[in-house]
Amino acid sequence: MKNVLIIGAGRYGRYSAKQLHDLGHQVMIVDRNEEKINEVLSYVTTAEIGDGCNEVFLRSLGISDYDFCLVAIGDDFVSSLETTFLLYELGAKQIIARANNENQEKLLLRSGANHVVFPERELGIWTAIRFSTDSIFNYFSLGEEYGIFEMNTPVKWDGKTIREIDIRNKYGITILAKKAIDFDFEIGVDTVLKKDEKLLVIGKNEHVQHIAMG
């Protein structure tokens, strides 16, 4: 279990707080807006109305006691930048900050952020890949070029083994598991694939897209 501080109770901050809470972590959330704080009270450990740009207020929270701090301010980059710098100055163990573009990322990193996330960009990429073909059901990004995909087994692979298809050499992907009802990770080169099963694969986004649209 981790002790987490979230600054900013907008949509991104709220969703992050709820997920962390559901995973069993201790969550403290801060926002200047009392209405936003009231909306999250049911799924955070503690919440306070306060300004992340106020050094005295931040110091009162005991910043070094948190395993990581998430700066989830999305509508005021100057405040996000100032909050990130103050957290760094106050000894935060790990700072994760939200950005909307690469210039903001550079500034946040220079101000003390350990990691920078792009919620809108990442959601946009996920949406494009997930819904560009009916054969892909889920997707997890492993960077700009690679990902893990849940997809239909191509009809032309039906009844053939992984060895016969020569998947890694011919298609540049690796099959991690196959799924009829539940995922089966006990697979090898002699595993027979069936068209009514789903596959969990890892590879370049463009390679998997080509197969799925094939």
Mind listing the pLDDT tens digit for each residue in 3-38?
999 999 999 999 999 999 999 999 999 999 999 999
Residue 167 to residue 158: CA distance in whole angstroms:
13
Map out the domains of the chain with their CATH numbers: 3-117 (3.40.50.720), 122-212 (3.30.70.1450)
Task: Provide CB contacts within 8 A for 176, sequence distance 6+.
Answer: 148, 185, 200, 201, 202
Task: Provide CB contacts within 8 A for 50, sequence distance 6+.
Answer: 30, 31, 32, 57
CA distances to 84, 94, 98 from 91, rounded to whole Å, are 11, 9, 19
Q: pLDDT digits over 129-157, tens only?
A: 777 777 888 888 887 788 899 989 999 99
Torsion-angle region of residue 159: left (phi > 0), alpha (psi -120 to 50) or beta?
Answer: left
Q: At what angle do helices 77-89 and 102-110 cross, to 10 degrees?
A: 20
Q: pLDDT digits over 79-126, tens only?
A: 999 999 999 999 999 999 999 889 999 999 999 999 999 888 777 777
Residue 7 to residue 11: CA distance in whole angstroms:
12
What is residue 88's predicted lDDT score, i.e. its pLDDT? 97
Confidence of residue 182 (pLDDT cuts 50, 70, 90): confident
Question: What six digits make up the tokens of 16?
Answer: 């992050």
Q: What does the angle CA 83 – CA 115 – CA 95 come to, to the nearest 5 degrees?
A: 40
The pLDDT > 70 percentage for the chain reads: 100
